[in-house]
Structure 1
Amino acid sequence: MYETFANLIKDHLGLAFLIGLLCVGGFIFLIWWTCSMYHKMKNIEELPCSAHSDKLDVLSSISEKINNLPCQDHKLKIEKQIDKHGSIESSISSINTSITYMQKSIDSLTQSLQRNKGIITDPFTQTRSPLSITPNGYDMIQKLGINEMFENNWLRIKFLIEENTQSKNPYDIQQFCIEQAVVFPEKFLKDEELTKIKMDAYTTGSSLTSYMKVIAVMARDRYFEENGINVTDVDIYDPNIPSG
């Protein structure tokens, strides 16, 4: 029995020792690898502050260079061209409005000549500067309730004048009101209000232009009143009236 036990130890000790040695070695290697990874991760966490700072400096430098590239100059040139294009469109629109106003005025005069046998008259306004409303015009205002229509639309009329008059002298404001009211009556009155006026114009044989000139004078007078402008100053800036 003793010899058998001794032989077992002798035969198997070398293998068991080797296995134990490998296990211990593997355990030690695992501990070393874990410690190494821990220190690497800790070092990485400590690096970004300075590294990010360097990257931010680089990005800032690149951004500054980009801003100084010719593209910025091109952008400014494009913006100037857009502004210039908008100004040209505004001028063209103003010219078209003036031409259309002249056409409508000629039509109105033609109707007046035909109706009054060669005498040029406007039933509601007189052309002596500054333009004013005649007694017949005030009768028409009372009959159709123009005052109420005007009050209902005054805020948008006022906004239209303030936002679109290029010059602030009285004559230009008056001309703007007249041209816009005659050419674009829908900017001054609602559809149902215009329909009522058109029906009266058809009945009396008058032109819509005559009615809208009354609205224009009302708009001019109200705007002048609210802005402290004397209506007689229109003549001072009228290029058709010789100065001095």
Structure 2
Amino acid sequence: MKILKSNYFTIFFIISVLLHGTLFYFFNIKSNEVINDKELIVNILKIPNQVTDIEMIDLKKEEKPEVIKKIKQDQKKFQQQIIQETKEPTNNLTQESTPDKIVEQEKTKTINLDPSFIQSQLSNIVDKRKIDKRTKVISSKTKERDYQSYYQVWKNKVEKIGALNYPAAARNGISESLVMTVILNDQGEVLDIKINKSSGVPQLDDAAKKIVNLGSPYSPFPPSIKEQVDTLQIRRIWRFTNNLME
């Protein structure tokens, strides 16, 4: 009976050892598989990162020339913008200064530095001031004896010159009249001629002016007139009719 119990114990012990050994072996295999699986998962997770890093490096390498090119393009645009901004004010300045240059050129063209011309202009200015200062308007209707006498002498001379230089337009049958004022200084010199009312025929107006200029200088002012005025403004109606000047 004791022997049988001993055999049972031995058999049970052997079975227990076998069972534990089997379990241990199986568990060890599973552990290795789990570890391997973990390493595999870690490697799998690492691979994308490595690939990403590689791709980023490649992209950086590929993008570098494009970035440089883009930077150069931006620099070029910036330079062009600066050049354009600097040119625009210059153009504006030239456009603004152009009228001034034109005016200066026109002034240079119109100014005559000839001494004789300047002297004549100054004389005209002085004479015109004299006209405004002490002057008198006379005509055929003036009643003062001294002024009327001077008017008649001047008129006779003008008519004689007019008869010798009768305008061709009047000879062709044109009959018109005009009102003209002749300004004389105290020496009888013509200072100015003004057409108060035109005949409507430029040839007749010009002919009347020519006749007056041909007669200059006229008689100097007599002392009685010279004491009173510096200039006389002789106003007269000029008529060209029937080959006569009235």
Same fold (TM over 0.5): no
TM-score (norm 1): 0.26
Higher CA-based Rg: 2
Q: TM-score, normalised by structure 2?
A: 0.26
Which one has the bigger helix percentage?
Answer: 1
Structure with greater strand share of residues: 2
